[in-house]
């Protein structure tokens, strides 16, 4: 089949590929500036404590130490992403009076090298008065629980309610109702590049920052709030970034402390968090207690669902408030519930704050929801895929009062997965295949950050040689957005991918963009780039039409650098020649186009949604409970596929991360102390544990997306834990409702099952 | 008290004076200035700092630089010959075996060392060869496909 596209859908090298395979890609971790100092951060060893006194005199005397700062050196402001609600901006970063978790920063040092800075930390004396602390949200909501933040009733940081239909009435009409409880564990992002920043204040009072971030714009704006500066006096640049996964779009301790230190010294200060700090003192996936009630008719029609969720917020709001909202919305996904109710509570505790992580609340809701759906299917005696088919979303569906689904390929995905399962035939003993469906948003519509800018914006400039430069605030954190955006630009202009350069994530030269989170860049930044390129194209076409002298009824287009009449492609002129002439004709002014995108009238959540179905096969050893992930096959639809190599990478990577969430990743704590803060102790999927992966791409077209494209980043993280849980049940008949589904839990459940059998 | 360290990095001899407890990864990055070698943990559990030491894959955070005295080190910067990428580098490009790229130097060094020792590894042996390297982005399979393609002879050494 010949594609109507020239660039889109091609298997290309990422535009930064050669840098990455030769070691020449520069990360913040690699930035070295003249006169640069190295910083380290002192952190609270107590989960909850009053700071009585900090004595930095000895530390300051150490040779090589240039500055020591504490909360007293800050303006005492508090940061938060939910800027529209001041009470939710609750994180000082450098604590002044009180610390709220083990790892809360209390002081920072800048010295000539890291060793000296580290040594100085030992010389800082902090007098604490430990306070009673609370670690579990179910404890924290009790009347007499310790208060994490003053004046917050029952430690409830925020609550969300979503409702449509008449839920109580609908439950009365159900033939069968299930109520189940689940527990979703914590998960660490484990970006291979830890959080880091090089902050440099000049004597002119301007701040320049190199940092590993998902949103240069957010960091710039949050700095402006915290330092009381004008945002244009702050330049934030994301270089190559060694992963983000949701952990890198709030102002973090490396960024803030480096800036405070640099402000004192007018010297660049570099702070790189250690792997231990990365585990204990950044953010993590939100642990949740889930209570689900699901009601159905005998024929499998799902009439009503109710979800009640209590999340472990940790010490600060962070992006956890958004996770609370999204887990509630996505708990209804991807099904047509006529009646639905959600009540979610995010509770402060004295633990590392929980926040955004790839999937943003949806992996939790999908694990619980898809597990319960399989139980319901069994109760009703209906095939699990059939139950999903009967209730699954379809194109042009409105989630009552919430969202409009335009493209939706869920049913094709179900068919495809059913086919592959059938093809596999009879499985060996103790093997099982579990299925889970999912959906996710292509960027959020909400603006709790309160940006006055367009959500995405881009500028495209055409140079004299016909090459295009894209300027975008989007951040490439490894997901390949620069390549995707370059492909969109090339396609729109009808030029080659090599003809496009991308300048991204630099607030000094790029228009603001909210950044890489909520799976928003392909659709939102992509639309902005496409429009900017289209504006350039129309300017070029004016010159081309004048030169060609064509009848006005004819359409002109560009393909492969050839400007031509659409119906008579052989009649045309070279794009490159026209550009040269056009720029001369404009008195030497380069051709520029601007584009932006902000969703309007698209519901409350997102302008578009991706869908998919995943089947996981496990092989369980009934003697030990150990099991192996054998194969994970995913039928996925994300609209037009812009960059197929990129999507495959997203999918396989998501399985590593989401499989880990289902299978082994966890952060056990003792009195607020994370017990496994190293890669050696934090178990994650390595190459030997990685299952075979297969991807079945389903063709859909999203009218809202650039060239019909939508998200392919986070949605893929949603189904795997649920599919694993269902697979284990299929294999050996035990159901684990709390994550991760470890061999120990499976073993225990098998023993229990045996005991029950014997008792009969 | 600083000590003398002599070693060859990518064929180039170096004479350096370093603190005895300096790790090899620090010497490569901070003293020699080759920042392609990454550091993801510092306790030899992530593999981002993998280099070749006298032909063997070694995590450069796991040894003192002085232990490499007199040795030959190859880093990711030493894989390409002039402007010609190595077969593995080209295979990584074609198979999209990198995303953020932070683990990539280590992955390339582990797989280069594997193929130097065992030019025809099985799939299981390839998996074992990179099991010490964490990649949080790709899910490993694209890396395994790239190495397999090189094993199958799809990428010839550039002349
Ligand atoms: S930095 Fe050496 S193994 Fe992680
Ligand atoms: S490509 Fe990001 S860690 Fe491997």
Which domains are assigned to chain B? 3-78 (3.10.20.30), 87-151 (1.10.150.120)
Neighbours of B124 (CB within 10 A): 9
* pLDDT for residue A1: 44
Ligand 2 atom at minimal distance to the Cα of residue B100: 2
B98 within ligand 2 shell (Cβ under 6 A): yes
Among B37, B45, B65, B131, say which to mutate for ligand 1: greatest number of ligand atoms within 8 Å of CB: B45
Token pair in block for residue A301: 């029609």
* A89: helix, strand or coil: coil
A214 inside 8 A of chain B by CB:
no
| Cα A502 from Cα A476, distance rounded (Å) | 10
B150 within ligand 1 shell (Cβ under 6 A): no
Helices marked H in A150-274: 167-173, 216-227, 253-265
* Nearest residue to A358 via CA among A431, A440, A293, A433: A440
A225 and A370 within one domain: no
The string of DSSP letters for B103-134 reads: SHHHHHHHHHHHHHH-SS--HHHHHHHTTT--
B158 pLDDT band, cuts 50/70/90, is confident
Query: Across the interface, do B40 and A688 touch by the CB < 8 Å criterion?
Result: no
The string of DSSP letters for B8-44 reads: EETTEEEEEEE-TT-BHHHIIIIIS--TTS--S-SSS
Residue ranges of chain A whose pLDDT lies below 50: 1
The number of residues making up chain A comes to 760
Query: Across the interface, do A192 and B46 touch by the CB < 8 Å criterion?
Result: yes
Domain count, chain A: 3
Specify burial of residue A229 (Cβ count, 10 A radius: 0-12, 13-18, 19+). Answer: middle
Mean of all residue pLDDT scores within chain A: 97
Token pair in block for residue A707: 């060239």
Token pair in block for residue B101: 């790229």
Q: Which DSSP helix (H) or strand (E) runs through A424? A: helix A410-424
| Cα B113 from Cα B119, distance rounded (Å) | 10
A173 contacts: CB under 8 Å, gap ≥ 6 = A295, A297, A303
* pLDDT for residue A553: 82
A114 and A39 within one domain: yes
* A510: helix, strand or coil: coil
B87 within ligand 1 shell (Cβ under 6 A): no
* pLDDT for residue A2: 55
Query: Across the interface, do A22 and B138 touch by the CB < 8 Å criterion?
Result: no
Query: Across the interface, do B98 and A653 touch by the CB < 8 Å criterion?
Result: no
Residue A445 lies in a domain: no
Residue A324 lies in a domain: no
Residues B52-78 as b/e (b if ≥16 CB within 10 A, e otherwise) read: bbeeebbbbbbbbbbebeebbbbbbbb
Query: Across the interface, do A18 and B93 touch by the CB < 8 Å criterion?
Result: yes
| Cα A706 from Cα A667, distance rounded (Å) | 39
Q: What is the CATH number of the domain that holds A755?
A: 3.30.365.10
Q: How far is the CA of B12 from the centre of ligand 1 (A)?
A: 24
A632 and A584 within one domain: no
A464 and A433 within one domain: no
Are residues A639 and A658 in contact, defined by beta-carbon separation less than 8 angstroms? Answer: no
A474 and A391 within one domain: no
Neighbours of A718 (CB within 10 A): 35
A574 and A636 within one domain: no
Residue A184 lies in a domain: no
- Shortest distance between the Cα of A241 and any Cα of chain B, in A, equals 6
Nearest to A242 among B37, B102, B128 (CB): B102
Q: How far is the CA of B9 from the centre of ligand 1 (A)?
A: 19
**CA B25 → CA A433, A451, B50, B58, distances in Å?**
44, 42, 9, 10
Are residues A251 and A195 in contact, defined by beta-carbon separation less than 8 angstroms? Answer: no
Which of A545, A566, A597 is at the close of a domain? A597
Q: Which residues of A touch B104 (CB under 8 A)?
A: 20-21, 23
Q: Which domain, by its residues, includes A472?
A: 17-24+455-597
**CA A431 → CA A36, A254, A630, A724, B41, distances in Å?**
57, 46, 9, 11, 36
Query: Across the interface, do A687 and B39 touch by the CB < 8 Å criterion?
Result: no
Q: Which residues of A touch B80 (CB under 8 A)?
A: 22
A701 and A613 within one domain: yes
| pLDDT beyond 60 at B105 | yes
Mean of all residue pLDDT scores within chain B: 97
Cis peptide before A740 (omega within 30 of 0): yes
For B103, name the nearest residue in chain A, comparing CA atoms only.
A192
A583 and A688 within one domain: no
What's the angle, vertex CA A51, arms to CA A45 and CA A52, rounded to 5?
Answer: 130
Token pair in block for residue A306: 């109710």
* pLDDT for residue B1: 86
What's the angle, vertex CA B157, arms to CA B154 and CA B159, rounded to 5?
Answer: 130
Are residues A690 and B139 in contact, defined by beta-carbon separation less than 8 angstroms? Answer: yes
| Cα A365 from Cα A410, distance rounded (Å) | 18
Phi, psi of B27 (to 5 degrees): -60, -45
pTM over 0.80: yes
Residue A576 lies in a domain: yes
Are residues A469 and A536 in contact, defined by beta-carbon separation less than 8 angstroms? Answer: no
**CA A249 → CA A102, A322, A408, A549, distances in Å?**
21, 13, 29, 51
Query: Residue A159 forms beta bridges with which residues?
Result: A345
* Nearest residue to A340 via CA among A283, A391, A409: A391
A35 inside 8 A of chain B by CB:
no
CA-closest residue to ligand 2 atom 4: B135
- Shortest distance between the Cα of B69 and any Cα of chain A, in A, equals 23
* Nearest residue to A540 via CA among A573, A511, A517, A509: A573
Q: What is the CATH number of the domain that holds A98?
A: 3.90.1170.50
Q: How far is the CA of A648 from the centre of ligand 1 (A)?
A: 27
B157 pLDDT band, cuts 50/70/90, is confident
Residue A627 lies in a domain: yes
Residue A309 lies in a domain: no
A568 and A495 within one domain: yes
* Nearest residue to B112 via CA among B32, B41, B53, B30: B53
| Cα A712 from Cα A610, distance rounded (Å) | 7
* pLDDT for residue A565: 95
A–B: how many Cβ contacts below 8 A? 166
Specify burial of residue A216 (Cβ count, 10 A radius: 0-12, 13-18, 19+). Answer: buried
A687 and A623 within one domain: yes
Query: Residue A398 forms beta bridges with which residues?
Result: A404
Which of A260, A280, A300 is at the close of a domain? A280
Q: Which residues of A touch B35 (CB under 8 A)?
A: 23, 26, 29-30
| Cα B12 from Cα B25, distance rounded (Å) | 17
| pLDDT beyond 50 at B16 | yes
* pLDDT for residue A238: 93
Q: How far is the CA of A399 from the centre of ligand 1 (A)?
A: 48
Are residues B73 and B53 in contact, defined by beta-carbon separation less than 8 angstroms? Answer: yes
Query: Across the interface, do A478 and B102 touch by the CB < 8 Å criterion?
Result: yes
Query: Across the interface, do A693 and B42 touch by the CB < 8 Å criterion?
Result: no
Residue A148 lies in a domain: no
Query: Across the interface, do B40 and A679 touch by the CB < 8 Å criterion?
Result: yes
* Nearest residue to A599 via CA among A700, A703, A497: A703
Residues 652 through 671 of chain A touching chain B, CB cutoff 8 Å: 652-657
Q: How far is the CA of B109 from the centre of ligand 2 (A)?
A: 14
A593 and A517 within one domain: yes
Q: Which DSSP helix (H) or strand (E) runs through A720? A: helix A720-732
B117 inside 8 A of chain A by CB:
no
Which of A597, A623, A639 is at the close of a domain? A597
Residue A666 lies in a domain: yes
Query: Residue A559 forms beta bridges with which residues?
Result: A562
Q: How far is the CA of A665 from the centre of ligand 1 (A)?
A: 20
B43 inside 8 A of chain A by CB:
yes
A233 and A209 within one domain: yes
B155 within ligand 2 shell (Cβ under 6 A): no
| pLDDT beyond 60 at B7 | yes
């Amino acid at each position: 089949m010949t594609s109507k596209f020239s660039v889109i859908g091609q298997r290309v090298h990422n535009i930064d590929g050669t840098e990455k395979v030769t070691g020449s890609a520069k990360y913040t971790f690699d930035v070295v500036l003249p006169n640069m100092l190295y910083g380290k951060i002192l952190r609270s060893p107590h989960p909850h404590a009053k700071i009585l006194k900090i004595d930095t005199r000895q530390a300051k005397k150490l040779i090589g130490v240039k500055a020591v700062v504490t909360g007293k050196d800050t303006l005492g402001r508090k940061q938060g992403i939910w800027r529209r609600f001041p009470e939710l901006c609750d994180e000082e970063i450098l604590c002044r009076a009180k610390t709220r978790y083990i790892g809360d920063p209390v002081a920072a040092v800048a010295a000539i090298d890291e060793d000296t800075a580290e040594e100085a930390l030992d010389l800082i004396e902090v007098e604490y008065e430990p306070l009673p602390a609370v670690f579990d949200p179910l404890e924290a909501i009790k009347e007499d629980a310790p208060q994490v933040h003053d004046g917050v009733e029952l430690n409830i940081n925020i609550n969300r309610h979503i409702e449509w239909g008449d839920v109580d009435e609908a439950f009365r009409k159900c033939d069968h109702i299930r109520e189940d409880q689940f527990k979703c564990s914590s998960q660490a992002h484990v970006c291979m590049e830890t959080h880091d920043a090089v902050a440099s204040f000049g004597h002119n009072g301007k701040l320049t920052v190199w940092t590993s971030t998902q949103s240069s714009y957010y960091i710039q704006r949050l700095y402006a709030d915290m330092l009381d500066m004008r945002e244009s006096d702050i330049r934030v640049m994301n270089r190559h970034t060694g992963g983000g996964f949701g952990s890198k779009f709030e102002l973090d301790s490396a960024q803030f402390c480096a800036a405070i230190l640099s402000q004192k010294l007018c010297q660049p200060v570099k702070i790189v968090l250690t792997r231990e700090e990365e585990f204990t003192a950044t953010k993590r996936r939100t642990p949740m207690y889930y209570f689900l009630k699901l009601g159905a008719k005998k024929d499998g029609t799902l009439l009503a669902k109710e979800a009640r969720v209590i999340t472990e917020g940790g010490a600060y709001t962070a992006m956890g408030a958004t996770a609370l909202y999204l887990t509630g919305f996505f708990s209804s996904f991807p099904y047509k519930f006529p009646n639905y109710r959600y009540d979610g509570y995010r509770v402060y505790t004295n633990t590392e704050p929980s926040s955004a992580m790839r999937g943003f609340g949806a992996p939790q809701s999908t694990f619980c929801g898809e597990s319960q759906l399989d139980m319901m299917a069994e109760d009703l005696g209906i095939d699990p895929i059939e139950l999903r088919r009967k209730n699954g979303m379809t194109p042009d569906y409105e989630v009552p009062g919430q969202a409009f689904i335009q493209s939706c390929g869920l049913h094709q995905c179900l068919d495809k997965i059913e086919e592959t399962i059938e093809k596999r035939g009879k499985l060996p003993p103790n093997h099982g295949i579990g299925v889970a469906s999912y959906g996710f948003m292509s960027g959020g519509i909400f603006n709790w950050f309160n940006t006055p800018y367009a959500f995405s914006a881009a500028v495209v400039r055409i140079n004299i040689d016909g090459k295009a430069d894209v300027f975008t605030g989007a951040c490439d954190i490894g997901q390949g957005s620069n390549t995707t955006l370059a492909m969109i630009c090339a396609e729109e202009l009808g030029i080659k991918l090599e003809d496009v350069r991308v300048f991204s994530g630099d607030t000094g030269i790029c228009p603001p963009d909210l950044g890489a989170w909520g799976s928003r860049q392909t659709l939102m930044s992509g639309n902005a780039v496409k429009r900017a390129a289209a504006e350039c194209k129309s300017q070029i076409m004016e010159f081309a039409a004048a030169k060609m002298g064509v009848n006005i009824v004819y359409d002109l287009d560009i393909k492969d650098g050839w400007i031509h009449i659409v119906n008579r492609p052989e009649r045309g002129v070279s794009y490159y020649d026209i550009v040269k002439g056009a720029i001369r004709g404009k008195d030497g002014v380069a051709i520029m186009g601007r584009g932006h995108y902000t969703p309007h009238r698209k519901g409350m959540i997102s302008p578009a949604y991706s869908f998919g179905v995943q089947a996981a096969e496990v092989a369980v050893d009934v003697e030990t409970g150990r099991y192996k992930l054998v194969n994970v096959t995913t039928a996925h639809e994300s609209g037009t596929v812009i960059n197929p190599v990129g999507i495959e990478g997203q999918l396989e990577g998501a399985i590593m991360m989401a499989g880990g969430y289902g299978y082994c990743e966890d952060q056990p704590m003792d009195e607020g102390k994370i017990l496994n803060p190293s890669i050696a102790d934090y178990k994650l999927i390595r190459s030997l544990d990685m299952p075979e992966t297969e991807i079945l791409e389903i063709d859909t077209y999203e009218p809202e997306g650039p060239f019909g494209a939508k998200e392919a980043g986070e949605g893929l993280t949603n189904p795997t834990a649920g599919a694993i849980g269902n697979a284990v049940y299929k294999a050996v008949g035990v159901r684990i409702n709390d994550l991760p589904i470890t061999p120990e839990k499976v073993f225990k459940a098998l023993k229990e099952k045996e005991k029950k059998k014997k008792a009969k | 008290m600083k000590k003398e360290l002599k070693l060859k990095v990518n064929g180039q001899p170096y004479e350096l004076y370093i603190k005895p407890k300096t790790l090899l990864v620090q010497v490569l990055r901070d003293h020699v200035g080759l920042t392609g070698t990454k550091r993801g943990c510092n306790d030899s559990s992530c593999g981002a700092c993998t280099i070749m030491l006298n032909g063997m894959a070694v995590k450069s955070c796991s040894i003192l630089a002085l232990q490499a005295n007199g040795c030959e080190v190859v880093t990711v910067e030493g894989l390409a010959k002039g402007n010609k990428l190595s077969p593995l580098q080209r295979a990584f490009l074609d198979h999209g075996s990198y995303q953020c790229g932070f683990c990539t130097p280590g992955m390339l060094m582990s797989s280069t060392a594997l193929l130097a020792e065992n030019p025809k590894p099985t799939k299981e042996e390839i998996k074992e060869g990179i099991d010490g390297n964490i990649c949080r982005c790709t899910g490993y399979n694209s890396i395994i496909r790239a190495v397999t393609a090189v094993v199958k002879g799809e990428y010839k050494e550039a002349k």
